[in-house]
Structure 1
């Protein structure tokens, strides 16, 4: 994940870590990010006392849009207007732009399958960019990797279960944040203002996450 923009979930985990008194190095270790990335993220978004994950995420998205040259935006033409609109919606939820473009191109393929070479050619980007994007998609359940024995290359696939797996992975990460907040609440003291605030936040996120996972299991048949 190094080199990818922080996701909204990661920013929430940063806020939880700060509230729990974790050091920048410990937060970075838990997110598998360089400490410099965490330090820069917090420093440019209010500091350790003023860090707000939602505002930080919105500010980063706005900066990225200002810094993206027109020529790069024009390179999205292969996805079409509808595809680019889906990409923009995905970016707003925290998905890195290149990862969103690769994901949408997979979704728009006839059989939901493409090789890395096909993605590189269609999106007019470097193989390295595609590699980072597909690794992210596989890691977070948006796609899976298959081996084509005839052509001796990997094929990236989105199928009917991909949405289920991505929802479940995302919810599990939120559940981890909830339980980290509850642990931090206990460490801070259940009767302290910080402890009560963290405990309530953790309990809320835990209940919502568990119900979302139950709902995903209950309605999974709709994807069959």
Structure 2
């Protein structure tokens, strides 16, 4: 989109355009980009005669990584370890499967002293474009990890972390594993289970099926996560039931499930106390 970063496909079209003798202005028009974006892209990646799409894409990613590393080091050296911590926090979430920019936004919201942040504040703190923030917020809203609240005075949107954000993160990870398994199953059907590729995909499908099942754990496990997400040592089963809008019996069953699977001896203490302390 205009103003966004060039994708790998964009770079392939630039290379094709150059090979076909097109000028920068015509390539820019086809990609709906400023001509200056195309000219800079080509100039820093070998020029019109030496531009290679794959090389340009990997070189761009490498420069971005160096900028992030340099920025984090500079934050520490200039006495801003909090910003460096936000980046480390985000990197951990990226390793867990969340998109990078969404992870950075979530990490900043989670470590901010303010309950909410506006888009302008996110842009300023993360030093990125408004388009990047908009895309990240869209993803986080879609998976239920962030919601927006309108400003009662100004025409602004404030972004707030969902109360059960880590349960949502767990669910996103479980869905990702399920998608991996489904994709592998489609490949097996297409290529044949008795082919070398089909056998590799079969191992992949089995692995991610088991992982997804372990993470989902059935209704009892999902209920357990919901209870432990709001559980506090001072709350008894009736108070937990009121907070969740559930029957007390359902909460009691879940607390017993949690105690049984926590590795503690439930016989020496009430199941609710064991489960809440484990949370």
TM-score range, shorter chain: 0.5 to 0.7
Higher Rg: 2
**TM-score normalised by L of structure 1:** 0.61
Alignment of 1:3-18 (within 5 A): none
The answer for the alignment partner of 1:191 in structure 2 is 194
In structure 1, C-alpha distance between the alignment counterparts of 2:174 and 2:214, rounded to whole Å: 10
In structure 1, C-alpha distance between the alignment counterparts of 2:216 and 2:93, rounded to whole Å: 21
Point out where structure 2 has 5 or more consecutive residues left out of the alignment.
Answer: 14-52, 231-279
Cα gap change, 1:168/1:88 in structure 2, threshold over 3 Å: closer, same or farther? closer
The answer for the alignment partner of 1:36 in structure 2 is 9
The answer for the alignment partner of 2:140 in structure 1 is 137
1:105 lines up with 2:108 in the alignment = yes
SS in 1 for 2:154: coil
RMSD of aligned alpha carbons: 4.0
Cα gap change, 1:71/1:192 in structure 2, threshold over 3 Å: closer, same or farther? closer
The answer for the alignment partner of 1:205 in structure 2 is 208
SS in 2 for 1:198: helix
1:127 lines up with 2:107 in the alignment = no
1:85 lines up with 2:88 in the alignment = yes
Q: Structure 1 residue 210: deviation in Å? A: 2.1
2:225 to 216, 219, 223: 219
* Residue pair 1:148, 1:155 contacting (<8 A) in 2 also: yes
* Residue pair 1:140, 1:170 contacting (<8 A) in 2 also: no
In structure 2, C-alpha distance between the alignment counterparts of 1:153 and 1:38, rounded to whole Å: 36
In structure 1, C-alpha distance between the alignment counterparts of 2:174 and 2:10, rounded to whole Å: 24
SS in 1 for 2:186: helix
Point out where structure 1 has 5 or more consecutive residues left out of the alignment.
Answer: 6-33, 46-55
* Residue pair 2:75, 2:81 contacting (<8 A) in 1 also: yes
